[in-house]
Amino acid sequence: MAVISGLFIYPLKSGRGIALDESRITMSGLKWDRHWMAVDTSGRFLSQRTHPLLARVVPELTDDALVLHAPDQSPLRLPLEPDRAAEPHTATSVRVWEDSCTGFDQGEPAAQWISQALGVPARLMRAAPEPDRLADARYAGPYPVPIAFPDAFPLLVCNRASLDGLNRRMPEAIPMERFRPNIVLEGLPEFAEDGIDTLQAGEVTLRLVKPCTRCIITSTDQHTGERSTNPLPVLRTFRFSRELLGVTFGENAVVIHGMDALLKVGILCVPTFEPVTPAPTLA
């Protein structure tokens, strides 16, 4: 058994996270997660990999708006329910890695606001209500899995014991927020998530489909936007995947049952584990 000890969403891709007590499951992950995104003048996504000041953009969800805060700027208010009649006129093609998908431009005031926050020309985009981008079917499975603006999959699941195991090897401990999880589990052994197939949490069933390869964002202080203690060299010593050609921490997941159900902090989870292939015996 495990328990959900943390739930987080990141309404603006690569912006600060919001800790929640509960969150509704949608077709593309937790509600409002990575539904807005900053892009450069060519429409390509911006993230903390190249623009760490995104960590200083703090989202706030109200009943009817996403409100963005940044140092020395007035808050920017973006409606949760946009003007449907206006949306077709603001649709444009944007890129997340190698994927092209539809984004809805949030207008000139929003573009000026995010450009000031990042110090570079940028625009703010919103994902389509029914996203036209899909998770990688090689891992996600035979059925289409729509996603908004995450890197690759609807959800990221991390294990508290695994962070403890990493921190025992680190010269200085780092917080879980560096890994930007959606779901944090407690009660599992260190790196037990590597072998989980499904995770049953109340009405919701998740499938853990692929280890998450990690990047320089894990070295970014999520409050200042400055580079800080880097866990990648330590992870490389014991978490390097030859198959994925990167270091891994956490598991990407898809929803296989429970659309529109609530996930809550404190809920018990029942994992099922992938079968272990027995080692061949010598004759």
Of 148, 154, 94, which is closest to residue 124 (Cα–Cα)? 94
Q: How many CB atoms lie within 10 A of CB 272?
A: 14
List, for residues 80-94, the tens digit of each pLDDT value.
Answer: 987 776 666 789 999
Give per-residue burial for 53-88: e unless 16+ CB within 10 Å, then b. Answer: bbbbbbbeeeeeebebbbeeeeebebeeeeeeeeee
Domain locations in the chain?
2-273
Higher pLDDT, 161 or 279: 161
* pLDDT number for residue 81: 86
pLDDT at 276 over 60: no
Integer Cα distance of 176 and 218 in angstroms: 9
DSSP class of residue 79 equals E
- Determine the pLDDT at residue 82: 77
Query: Is 107 in contact with 220 (CB distance < 8 Å)?
Result: no
- Residue 283 above 50 pLDDT? no
- Residue 120 and residue 208: Cα distance in Å, rounded? 37
Burial class (CB in 10 A: 0-12, 13-18, 19+), 206: buried
Residue 280 scores a pLDDT above 80: no
- What does pLDDT average to over the chain? 94
**Where residue 130 falls among pLDDT bands split at 50, 70, 90?**
confident
How many Å apart are CA 261 and CA 24, to the nearest integer? 6
Report pLDDT for 278.
47
Given a cut of 70, whether residue 277 has pLDDT beyond it is no
Residues 20-32 have pLDDT tens digits of: 999 999 989 999 9
Instruction: Determine contact, residues 232/247, Cβ cutoff 8 Å.
Output: yes
Q: Is 123 exposed, middle or buried (0-12, 13-18, 19+ CB in 10 A)?
A: buried
Of 238, 253, 239, nearest in space to 181 by CA: 253
Q: How far is CA 9 from CA 35, 42, 54, 272, in A?
A: 10, 27, 15, 25
Q: Residue 167: helix, strand or coil by DSSP?
A: helix
Domain 2-273: CATH superfamily, name plus number: PK beta-barrel domain-like (2.40.33.20)
pTM: 0.94
- Residue 282 banded pLDDT, cuts 50, 70, 90: very low
